[in-house]
Structure 1
């Protein structure tokens, strides 16, 4: 046991939001947390996800779109959904400690300019707060 909290970020396609969250948590605090991501209906990682992370100098190593089924039977301290659809589909994930639902607009379908960078910053702010709260001893 590493003593690290295991976090699984889930969105529908595992193309943007959950990938951003996984990379950001890894970047923010890999000492206390192990971050994973998955989708309820995975597709491919959107290239703009990699661009937004690279722009901030955040590693994208190992990021790939994967199904929540890959984590069947694994134990997570936190399962955090990043969209309402995933939140309703992940009500009863076995092996989940605390379930949290964060909702962010999907940058893939957004018409806003800089949608990916905007979503990246929103998720980063939430992750910094999460780390602050969960590592206070």
Structure 2
């Protein structure tokens, strides 16, 4: 049996998308992946992300928003940027880290836009649910879709 793949999900604030990805990877692929998440900045854990993941049976409530520098002792095999800003500002990773961009829509921004239009909270939460399910569909493909 080969060693597990160290995978980092990187986002701007490590509050929503990267946290969901880490949660799904730990829930679905812990036999082949060591999953982590971090941000270029820290924005705190998004409570709506926690809520919709809990609906799907994945508890990320104990996660915390981390800076990339907090994980500098880990040699990553793969770094997946899950938002455009993180992809554009992704630092250089020494060694063999393969950097891949798989962008997902920004649920907080979408929900904020809907709230400004007077949409009910349930409709706003649907933004999170949709992205949660898109991320899950991607995580299911790992690590094979990375060519590993």
> Could you list the runs of 5+ residues in structure 2 that have no partner in the other structure?
115-122
More displaced 10-residue stretch of structure 1: 123-132 or 40-49: 123-132
1:105 counterpart SS class: coil
Moved over 2 A (4+): 93-96, 130-136
Shift of 1:95: 4.4
CA spacing shift, 1:95–1:67, aligned 2, 3 Å:
farther
CA spacing shift, 1:95–1:106, aligned 2, 3 Å:
farther
Q: Does 1:35 align with 2:47?
A: no
Contact 2:50–2:61 (Cα < 8 Å) also in 1: no
Shift of 1:97: 1.4
Question: More helix per residue: 1 or 2?
Answer: 2
Contact 1:73–1:95 (Cα < 8 Å) also in 2: no
Q: 1:119 aligns with which of 131, 136, 148?
A: 131
Shift of 1:29: 1.1
> Could you list the runs of 5+ residues in structure 1 that have no partner in the other structure?
none
- For 2:59 and 2:133, locate their aligned partners in 1 and report how far apart those are by CA, in whole Å: 16
- For 1:57 and 1:108, locate their aligned partners in 2 and report how far apart those are by CA, in whole Å: 21
- For 1:41 and 1:127, locate their aligned partners in 2 and report how far apart those are by CA, in whole Å: 23
